[in-house]
Chain A
Amino acid sequence: MIAKRRYGTHVFLIVMSAMWLLPLLWTLYTSLRPKAATDRYGYWSLRGPFNLHNFTDAWTQGSLPTYFVNSIYITVPSVLLTLGLASMMAFAVSRFTWKFNVTLLIMFTAGNMLPPQVLAAPLFEMFKHTPLPYSLSTSGSLLDTYYAVIAVEVAFQLGFCTFVLSNYMKALPSELTEAALVDGASVWRQYSRIIMPLSRPALAALGTLQVIWLYNDFFWPLLFIQTGARLPITTGVNSLQGQFLMNYNLIAAGATITVIPTLVIYLALQRHFVAGLTLGASKG
């Protein structure tokens, strides 16, 4: 291609990039300056000192380690369950034809697109009125437990993952499983030995996407978890705003720490993440 008129494009893109990076760089910059320095010189100033004290303070005072561990408790089982169940459902609807398979797939897809707030009241009341022994739940019900959050996260993501995986599995040649069937392979064997290994790219993309989405989810833990020490990081980090009142340096440090895990996943698995986002859309 010819390089004509590319200067204008570059100038525009550089200006836009600067605008896009500015909030992130400002957050990082604020977090590196001690409160004393900003009190003295104002936030809009290049005067030092610069150090990592805000990070250590936010880490210890803001109970961030607890929030991180809680996020793992919710995210890991949710993603594994979602992918396991969605792949089974997708396998059944895409490799076999039976009466309601398309109807069910439509219902699954629709469920994922609803605003979560539509389901909030009934789910909250259902969980409140489901008794659990106190050995399993301090509230005596499903409220304030990870089971509740995990169950709803799985149910909500199941639709999207089933939709994406069924499209993927439908595109795999049907001779593969037919040959296996002739050899006498059971349904379970076809699923676990043939279809699942071949679906690895889609599973990797969805897995990466789901980890980031569930880590970022705010609403369901907000609704179901009442004990502050049980909140996952995304819901918990919001409470830093109240806790570190007006100490924007500490808030900035807390925000920066919270970004780090997603940033690591994104940088390591960027290809999968982007693939996951477009997988769902490519079959419009």
Chain B
Amino acid sequence: MTQTITAAAAPTKPVARTRARRVRRLTGRDRIVLAFMVGVPTLIQAVLIWIPTLLSIGLSFTRWNGLAVSDIRPAGLTNYRFAVKDYPPFWPAVEHNLIWLGFLALVATPIGLLLAVLLDQNIRGSRIYQSIFFTPVMLSLVLVGIIWQLIYARDEGLLNNVLGTAGHPNAVDWFGDPHVNLWAALVATAWRHAGYIMVLYLAGLKGIDPSLREAAAIDGANARQTFFRVVFPAMRPINIVVVVITLIEALRAFDIVYVINHGTNGLELLSVLVIQNLVGEGQVIGVGSALAVILLVVSLIPIVTYLIRTFRRADG
């Protein structure tokens, strides 16, 4: 991957000039074809992604019941004030999103990295191990939720049966008890997340120039030093992708808590609060949109960081 970047970066200037000339050199019919190739996807993006994002921001400053468009009333900052001050699940949701991020960043992602490092050595059965750890990645989070329900159910689940508490009145209901269900859901999420990170790091480790390790070995570095001082820093591009993926997954978390209990009773997350305010009886689009905008602003931090890093380099 590093080769692609350097290869693309080196001849940028002359290539750009010849290509720029080339566009002007195109015939009328070619220009129409090119305009179509760019126009259709751009129109789709504009209508279904960019304009709705702007509308979300707009709606967050209004009061609306979602019926007739003429019923939309300006509301200033009321929705934001309500969400932050008077909406009981707001701060718990923020806290849960932070815990979600912390758990993915400090537990699930390091497990994925550890598995990749172990499997990158030429150990016997590496392919089989990889397939096993990777299997949950192709499952939907809905299925992850359902499968772990079979583990966590109070009387029927595997966990309480192994612990010997199944059937007792004080047995823990892992997905139901608001003191533990967030952690139970995180374990299930980590089961899938770690395999994903493992695959990314396996690709990253394969891209490491073997001479780097040899040089470190000649300099007398042990395995640990070689990894932390040489290999890990050399995987910087992958590290950035992993950080961004971990951040975004923590903000996007929705499916699994929605499957467990619609994101209530200990499993409130910002993404779920947005939806709870948009559908159902108490439809308050203004408040839902204000929450969506808060989610948007937080998400833009990793998105913009990633884009700056990626495209600054691609432009050379």
Asked if residues B142 and A237 are in contact (CB atoms below 8 Å), the reply is yes
Do residues A159 and B45 form an inter-chain contact, with CB atoms below 8 A?
A: yes
Shortest CB distance B244–A (Å):
8
In the assembled complex, the CB of A122 is this many whole angstroms from the nearest CB of chain B, namely 4
Query: Are A91's CB and B37's CB within 8 A?
Result: yes
Q: Which residue of B lies closest to A174 (CB)?
A: B15
The interface residues of chain B lying within 8 Å CB-to-CB of A134 are none
Query: Interface on chain B toward A: helix, strand, loop, or mixed SS?
Result: helix
Of residues 14 through 35 on chain A, the ones whose CB sits less than 8 Å from some CB of chain B are 16-17, 20-24, 26-27, 30
Interface residues of B in 80-105 (CB under 8 A from A): none
Comparing A46-54, A72-80, A197-205, A269-277, the segment that makes contact with chain B is: A269-277
Q: Within residues 209 to 231 of chain A, which ones have a CB less than 8 A from any CB in chain B?
A: 212, 215-219, 222-223
CA distance A37 to B84 in the complex (A): 51
Q: Does B139 contact A (CB under 8 A)?
A: yes
In the complex, the answer to whether B7 meets A171 with C-beta atoms within 8 Å is yes
With contacts A24-B147, A117-B271 taken as known, whether A96 is within 8 angstroms of B200 at the C-beta atoms is no
Docked Cα-Cα span, A160 to B230, in Å, equals 31
Chain B's interface size range is 35 or more
Question: How far apart sit A117 and B279, CA to CA, in the bound complex (Å)?
Answer: 12
Chain A residues within 8 Å of B252, by CB: 115-116
Pick from B150, B248, B302: contact of A251, CB below 8 A: B150
A9 interfacial contact with B, CB 8 Å: yes
C-alpha spacing A227/B157, complex, angstroms? 32
Q: In the bound complex, do residue A88 and residue B41 qualify as a contact, i.e. CB atoms below 8 Å apart?
A: yes
Interface residues of B in 125-173 (CB under 8 A from A): 129, 131-143, 146-151, 153, 156-158, 161-162, 166
Tell me if A245 counts as interface (CB < 8 A to partner B): no
Q: Does A282 count as interface, using CB distance less than 8 angstroms?
A: yes
We find that the number of chain A residues with CB closer than 8 angstroms to chain B is: 109
- A85 located at the interface, meaning its Cβ lies under 8 Å from any Cβ of chain B in the complex: yes
Other-chain residue from A26, A104, A234, A277 in contact with B150 (beta carbon distance below 8 A): A26
Q: Contact at B303–A114, with CB atoms within 8 Å?
A: yes
CA A42 to CA B296, docked complex, whole Å: 47
| B-contact bits for A1-20, CB 8 A (1 contact / 0 none) | 10000100110110011001
- Chain B residues with Cβ under 8 A from A251's Cβ? 146, 149-150
A279, chain B: closest CB distance, angstroms: 9
Binary interface encoding of chain A residues 92-115 relative to chain B, with 1 for a CB under 8 A from any of its CBs, else 0:
110111100010111111110111
- Whether the Cβ atoms of B56 and A23 lie closer than 8 Å is no
Q: Do A121 and B288 touch (CB < 8 A)?
A: yes
Whether A152 is near chain B, meaning CB under 8 Å from some CB there, is yes
What is the interface of chain A mostly: helix, strand, loop, or mixed? Answer: helix
- A115-B295, A118-B296, A277-B196 as given contacts; A1 in contact with B150, CB under 8 Å: no
**B residues less than 8 Å from A107 (CB atoms):** 45, 50
Q: Judging by beta carbons under 8 Å apart, are B248 and A113 in contact?
A: yes
In chain B, what residue has the closest Cβ to A17?
Answer: B132
- Cβ contact within 8 Å between A43 and B157: yes
In the complex, are the beta carbons of A115 and B200 less than 8 A apart? no
Q: Is the CB–CB distance between A234 and B140 below 8 Å?
A: yes
Q: Which of A1, A109, A154, A217 contacts B307 (CB 8 A)?
A: A109
A119 touches B56 (CB 8 A): yes
Q: Does B76 contact A (CB under 8 A)?
A: no
Contact across chains for B30 and A212 when beta carbons are under 8 A apart: no
Quick check: is B1 within 8 A (CB to CB) of the other chain?
yes
Q: Point out residues on A near B: beta carbons under 8 Å.
A: 1, 6, 9-10, 12-13, 16-17, 20-24, 26-27, 30, 38, 42-44, 85-86, 88-89, 91-93, 95-98, 102, 104-111, 113-126, 128-129, 151-152, 154-156, 158-159, 162, 167, 170-171, 174, 178, 181, 186-188, 191, 212, 215-219, 222-223, 234-235, 237-238, 240-241, 246, 248, 251-252, 254-255, 258-259, 262-263, 265-266, 270, 273-274, 277-278, 281-284
4 tightest A-B contacts by CB? A284-B237, A44-B161, A216-B140, A155-B48
Known A-B contacts: A120-B275, A237-B143, A282-B238. Give 5 more (CB < 8 A): A104-B42, A167-B4, A234-B143, A241-B259, A284-B241
Interchain residue pairs with CB less than 8 A apart (9): A24-B147, A38-B156, A42-B166, A102-B315, A110-B307, A219-B254, A237-B142, A266-B138, A281-B200
